[in-house]
Structure formats: C-alpha cells, structure tokens
Amino acid sequence: MGLKSSWLASANAPGCPFPLNNLPYGVFSVGDDEPRCGVAIGDMILDCQRAEEAGLLEFEETPLFDVPFWNEVMEAGPELWAALRARLEDLLGNPAHKAAVMPLLVPQADAQMHLPFLVAEYTDFYAGRNHAFNVGSMFRDPANALPPNWLHIPIGYNGRASSVVVSGTPVRRPWGQLKSPDHALPAFLPSRRFDFELEMGAIVGTASDGPVTVDEADAMIFGYVLLNDWSARDIQAWEYQPLGPFQAKATATSISPWIVTNAALEPFRVACPEREFELLPHLKDTGPMLYNIDLDVRLAPKGKAASTIARTNYREMYYSVPQQLAHHTTSGCPMNPGDLLGSGTISGATKPERGSLLELSWGGKEPLQLETGETRSFLEDGDTLTLTGTAHGDGYVIGFGECVGQILPALEDPYKR
C-alpha cells in the first residue's frame, strides 16, 4: 500500500508528515478565534467545525465538532471512527470535493495548536526493557537490574492528568524537597537534575468497567502521540520510596499536538520482543501490537543549534499498549475516553539510543557532548527539547508533529505573590 493521493499538492510531497494516509486529529486556533477541531493534511488543517457546519461531516452522532476537543468523537466509538476516516479520505482525496473543501483549509503556519483532548486520567508505564535495565543498573545492581516482577507485569503508576500540556508550552524548572547524599537533612530547592523522558502516549477512546482482554484493549485505543514525561530526578530519588514518583513527575508532561490514529498506524505493526518468561494468559501477545516508529530527540541550548542526542524506535518496548491497558483493567479499574497511557521511556540497546539524560549521561557521571560544544548532564535553563516520530511507509511517511518544550528558570521565590 503506497501513498494515497490528495488533491492538495503539499500532502503528496515526498517526506510530508501529513499525507492522506495519516489524517491526524488536533485542536487549533487562528488569531483570537476560539480553538476548534482540525485534521492535518499536507501543510494545511481542515477545519472540522466549519466542515460540519457546511454539511460535509454528517453522521448519526452529529454535532461532533461544536467543542474544542476530540473526546466526543472518541465516545462515539469505533464505527464512527472508521466512518469519519473514510469520509475524510474521500473529502481530501477525491478532486470532486476540492471546490467545497478548499475554503475550509487553514495553513498550519497560521495556526496555534492546543491540547487535542481533555485528559481524563494519566497513567505512565515503565515498559521499556533497556530503560528499566539502565535505571536498575545505576541505582541497584547490573546483576539484578530488573525488579523481580518486571518480566511478568507491565509496571505502571498513576500520573497527574492536570499537568499534561501541549507541545510548545514552556516548562518551568520545579522546586522540590531534595536530599543530597552528603547532607543529613533535606532542603527545599529548585531541581538540579531535571530531565526529559522519550515516550509514546496512547489515548483510550472507549470506556470499560471491568477486565478487558488484550484484543479488546487494542480496539479501545483511539490513537497515539509523542510524550515527554519531564522528570526531576533529585526530587524523585528522595520521595519515591515506598509509594512511587509523585511531585517529581507532576510539573508537566508534554504531548505532540496531533493524535495519529490506530488506523493510520496499522501498516506499521510489529511484534513485541521475545519473552524471557512466558506471559500469563491474560497478557499474552495476540499478534503484532507494537509499531515501527523512528523516534529522535534533539536538544538546543538557548540561542544555539539543536544536536540530536538520541535516536531509537518504538518497537524497543517490551510491552505493547494493549497489554498495558489489559493489565490496567485487571482489578476492575474503570477506564474512560481521554485516558492517556504513557509507554514508559523508550531506549534502545546502545548508548546513542537512550531516551533520557539520566541514561545518556549515566546519572551525570558521563556528561553528554553536544555538537555545539556544550556538555549536558541534565537539562539547563533555556534548553529546548524536541521529540519527533516518523513511520516509514512505502512511498510515504506518517509524522506525529513535534513535541517541544523549553525550560524556564525556576521561580526565584515560589511563594512570592
């Protein structure tokens, strides 16, 4: 299956991240207009609200686009998802619609992007084996780097939905309670080991109120985004025993602005890695459930060019999203449209494939050399961090847009009003 051709020339250009094969969903605004739902095509955005008002997006569930988020579409369920995608392919692929649709297109260059959906709850997993091994080697012991449960269960914890922001939102270095190994008592200070985490985010589209199988979980997923789980390593080190990360991960989690649907990613399915232990029946792979998505991370010091500091691939995960989601429901935990699941940090096997500065600088012991001459152990004020993701098809690519954030300095006094 090659490039699907659009009547919009920019969508057919080689390397365009948003060809007709993609059709990702976002929320945008132009100038002072209210934000609204849109679909990326080439270098333009189809304004879904105006398309609906023009009668071009009529479904049983209409109106779907009188709100500035995609949750209503999610809640309508997989049949509507398929019908909407088919309709969009027709509107943007069939030249007969060009005259009607052209006036509904807005240049991406003119648009500001917003969070594409209301985040119901946010769960972050720890399901990349190389990352878990690296972290375990640093903080515990390379011989016993993986916790005993790790190869049996997709370890996850609940994150903070209110801290999820869209790409482009600056991220302020947090204060927190820290304890240096050379001090007897903790202090309240700005984080000195503020880090990124390269992840993919999966968006739950339909609700469940009891345990679901891996295949049912797969059908519940609406789409995927890039995700950067900003992490204060020094806050985490002091707080995380015994109940896990809390304030270390609550400053911000950035996501890319476009939801790339399950349907667009279908041609890129790949299998999970071989299992060292057979998974329990309710978690077993039922087919290829990861995706072949190239990921890279760039870091630009303030006013300087960006250096690529990591390249890896989403297929490095040990557990797929359907397996994570199936595990998430085992207790009967209700899931809702808009729940966001972070994959966990994605790291490949070798040093240039590591998805966090913690791993890239080995806890600060081996500062990373940037192409512009600087070194980095952790993020510095003014640094801009950019994640990108690309799936390479036959004659086309599927892009995610960027997931960008710049680090603002910590407040001088967090309690000064």
Give the catalytic positions in this structure: 131
User: What is the rounded distance in angstroms from the CA atom of residue 376 to the CA atom of residue 358?
Assistant: 10
**Among 112, 137, 163, 292, which residue sits at the site for a second copy (rule: CB under 8 A)?**
163
Q: Using H for helix, E for strand and C for coil, what is the string for the chain?
A: CCCCCCCCHHHHCCCCCCCCCCCCEEEEEECCCCCEEEEEECCEEEEHHHHHHCCCCCCCCCCCCCCCCCHHHHHHCHHHHHHHHHHHHHHHHCHHHHHHHHHHEEEHHHEEEECCCCCCCEEEECCEHHHHHHHHHHHCCHHHCCCCCCCCCCCEEECCHHHEEECCCCEECCEEEECCCCCCCCEEEECCCEECCEEEEEEECCCECCCCCHHHHHHHEEEEEEEEECEEHHHHHHHCCCCCCCHHHCCCEEECCCEEEHHHHHHHEECCCCCCCCCCHHHCCCCCCEECCEEEEEEECCCCCCEEEEEEEHHHECCCHHHHHHHHCCCCCCECCCCEEECCCCCCCCHHHCCCHHHHCCCCCCCEECCCCCEECCCCCCCEEEEEEEEECCCCEEECCCEEEEEECCCCCCCCC
Could you tell me which of 86, 109, 106, 93 has the C-alpha nearest to residue 39?
A: 106
Residue choice 133, 240, 268, 362 for contact with a second copy (CB under 8 A) = 240
- Single-letter residue type at 251: T
Answer for which of 225, 226, 232, 360 binds a second copy (CB under 8 A) is 232
Give yes or no for residue 260 binding a second copy (CB under 8 A): no
The one segment of 20-28, 104-112, 150-158, 288-296 that binds a second copy by CB under 8 A:
150-158
Q: Is 362 in the site for a second copy (CB under 8 A)?
A: no
Report the alpha-carbon distance of residue 39 to residue 25 in Å, rounded.
5
Q: Which stretch binds a second copy (CB under 8 A): 13-21, 92-100, 110-118, 141-149?
A: 141-149
Looking at beta carbons only, is 203 or 252 nearer to a second copy?
252
Residue 409 engages a second copy in binding (rule: CB under 8 A): no
- Rank residues 188 and 365 by Cβ distance to a second copy and give the closer one: 188
- Interface pick for a second copy out of 1, 100, 187, 305 (rule CB under 8 A): 187
Q: Which residues pair with 221 in a beta bridge?
A: 204
Of the candidate residues 133, 246, 268, 362, the single one contacting a second copy (CB under 8 A): 246
Between 328 and 376, CB nearer to a second copy: 328
What residue type is assigned to position 270 of the chain?
V
181 in contact with a second copy (CB under 8 A): no
Residues touching a second copy, count (CB under 8 A): 63
> Binding of a second copy at residue 14 (CB under 8 A)?
no
CB of 287 to a second copy, least distance (A): 17
Q: Is 141 in the site for a second copy (CB under 8 A)?
A: no
Asked whether 343 and 127 are in contact (CB, 8 A), the reply is yes
Q: Least distance to a second copy from the beta carbon of 331, Å?
A: 4
CB of 336 to a second copy, least distance (A): 6
- Are the CB atoms for 27 and 37 separated by under 8 Å? yes
Kindly tell me which residue out of 24, 42, 159, 401 binds a second copy, with binding defined by CB under 8 A: 159
| Of the residues 2, 95, 103, 242, which one makes contact with a second copy according to CB under 8 A | 242
Q: Does residue 331 bind a second copy (CB under 8 A)?
A: yes
Q: Is 78 in the site for a second copy (CB under 8 A)?
A: no
Give the shortest CB-93-to-a second copy separation in angstroms: 37
Q: Please, which residue, 99 or 185, has the CB nearer to a second copy?
A: 185
Considering only the stretches 43-51, 94-102, 260-268, 326-334, report the one whose residues sit in contact with a second copy under the rule CB under 8 A: 326-334
Residues forming beta bridges with residue 107, ordered by sequence position? 44
Which is nearer to a second copy, 13 or 280 (by Cβ)?
280
From residue 283 to residue 312, the character string flagging contacts with a second copy as x (rule: CB under 8 A) and all else as - is ------------------------------
Closer Cβ to a second copy, 59 or 240, answer by number: 240
Which span (9-17, 81-89, 210-218, 374-382) binds a second copy, by CB under 8 A?
A: 210-218
List contacts with a second copy (CB under 8 A). Answer: 120-121, 126, 147-149, 152-153, 155-163, 172, 174-177, 179, 185-188, 210-211, 213, 232, 235, 238-248, 250-252, 277, 280-282, 327-328, 330-336, 339, 411, 414-415
